[in-house]
Amino acid sequence: MIESLNQQFCIDKSISIVAGNNNLPKIILSHQSGSTAEVYLHGGHVTGWSVPGVGDVLFLSRESLFVQGKPIRGGIPICFPQFGGRGSLPAHGFARTSEWSLIHSELSDNGIVSVELQLNDTPETLAIWQHSFILKLRVLLDSRALSIELEVMNKDKQSFDFQVALHTYFSVKDIKKTAVIGLQGVTYMDALQDLAESVEFAPEIRFGRETDRVYVNTPDKLKVDDGGNARVITIEKYNVPDVVVWNPWVEKSQRMADFGNDEYLRMVCVETGRIADPVVLGHNERWEGRTVYTC
Ligand code: TA6
């Protein structure tokens, strides 16, 4: 499988497919500047993004599983067609535990390296979500930016609604020296308080306990200040209104089998999605959203 994928999609010095963890097919993107990214077909899951002089930007748990039917813990899980437990599907939906197809690879004239993956409905998805769809993921790697584009198409005759999010795990040196900036004045639903609504008063969100909040209708630019590493990651989003801020802290970390007990100290999730107000698509209609991470 890997050999045939390379025959179709390999681009010398830019894109190759290798056997990743547990021999799962992994796409490696390499930019001429030295930045790299990696994407598993399993889950359409970006598991790594590294920039010279900055280091690894995404967190990946040392305990993560790489097995069929289970999500990878870390990187950029794709939540679709449901976010969290907001419905009858498995948590965060089935996209992150499905096997995606690689459909396109490209080295653009300006040096941007990109791949496109696709997930269609399958007998397994139709058994739990009776809608025909096409979900496309585009990953674009530049010298200091990683862009993630999602496109949903309704191939059904009836309308359907969905939630979608990039559940992005950022690597930080020390959560106690980390801040999320740009959400002051925004209303959030606190998942630890039965989704009770509050308004964010802090110009910088800092962490000292389990934090699990869905910020609704947020500004399209925010920052993750990884003070311990003296680096700031900028997040810019398009057609993606909501942001989730999550750190499991001590007790929840201990309850997560695929997450080290101490790993909460070195990660923060800042997730971009459409959660509070699900997208409704009619027959043949499509939705697109994009998030650009820059360091
Ligand atoms: O995005 C925050 C959240 O919904 C938390 O409630 C927590 O459950 C986290 O996602 C991880 O979910 P997972 O199903 O990947 O363990």
Contact 245, 256 (CB under 8 A): no
Ligand 1 centre from 81 Cα, in Å? 15
pLDDT at 169 (0 to 100): 99
Per-residue pLDDT tens over the stretch 232-247: 999 999 999 999 999 9
Tokens of 230: 């003296």
What pLDDT band is residue 266 in, cutting at 50, 70 and 90? very high
What pLDDT band is residue 252 in, cutting at 50, 70 and 90? very high
How does DSSP assign the chain, residue by residue? -HHHHHHHH-BTTTEEEEE-GGG-EEEEEE-TTS-EEEEETBTTEEEEEEETTTEE-B-B-TT----TTS--SBSB-EEBS--TTSSSSSTTBSGGGSBPEEEEEEE-TT--EEEEEEEE--HHHHHHS---EEEEEEEEE-SSEEEEEEEEEE-SSS-EEEEEEE-PEEE-S-GGGEEEES-TT-EEEEGGGTTEEEE---SEE--SS-EEEEE-S--SEEEEEEGGGTEEEEEEEES--EEEEEE-HHHHHHH-TTS-TTGGGGEEEEEEEEEEEEEEE-TT-EEEEEEEEE-
Question: Prior bond to 81 cis, omega within 30?
Answer: yes
- What is the pLDDT of the chain when averaged over all its residues? 98
* Sheet of 286-294, strands arranged across: 101-107, 113-120, 133-141, 145-154, 286-294, 231-238, 221-226, 178-181, 204-205
Which of the residues 38, 236, 263, 271 is marked catalytic?
Answer: 271
pLDDT at 58 (0 to 100): 98
Judge whether 92 counts as a catalytic residue.
Answer: no
pLDDT at 145 (0 to 100): 98
pLDDT at 164 (0 to 100): 98
Which residues are near ligand 1 (CB < 6 Å)? 71, 84, 91-92, 167, 191, 212, 244, 246, 269, 271
Per-residue pLDDT tens over the stretch 29-79: 999 999 999 999 999 999 999 999 999 999 999 999 999 999 999 999 999
Q: Atom 14 (ligand 1): residue with closest C-alpha? A: 91
Per-residue pLDDT tens over the stretch 97-116: 999 999 999 999 999 999 99
Residues in the chain: 295
Across the range 123-133, mean pLDDT stands at 98
Which is the closest atom of ligand 1 to the Cα of 91?
Answer: 14
Which of the residues 116, 167, 200, 263 is marked catalytic?
Answer: 167
pTM across the whole model: 0.98
Across the range 164-169, mean pLDDT stands at 99
pLDDT at 19 (0 to 100): 98
Across the range 160-181, mean pLDDT stands at 98
What pLDDT band is residue 18 in, cutting at 50, 70 and 90? very high
Per-residue pLDDT tens over the stretch 272-283: 999 999 999 999
What dihedral angle (degrees, nearest 10) is formed by the CA atoms of 47, 51, 54, 59? 0
pLDDT at 53 (0 to 100): 97
Other beta carbons within 10 angstroms of residue 222's beta carbon come to: 22
Per-residue pLDDT tens over the stretch 173-228: 999 999 999 999 999 999 999 999 999 999 999 999 999 999 999 999 999 999 99
Ligand 1 centre from 243 Cα, in Å? 13
Ligand 1 centre from 295 Cα, in Å? 25
Tokens of 181: 């900036």
Judge whether 42 counts as a catalytic residue.
Answer: no
Q: Atom 10 (ligand 1): residue with closest C-alpha? A: 84
Q: Atom 5 (ligand 1): residue with closest C-alpha? A: 212
What pLDDT band is residue 261 in, cutting at 50, 70 and 90? very high
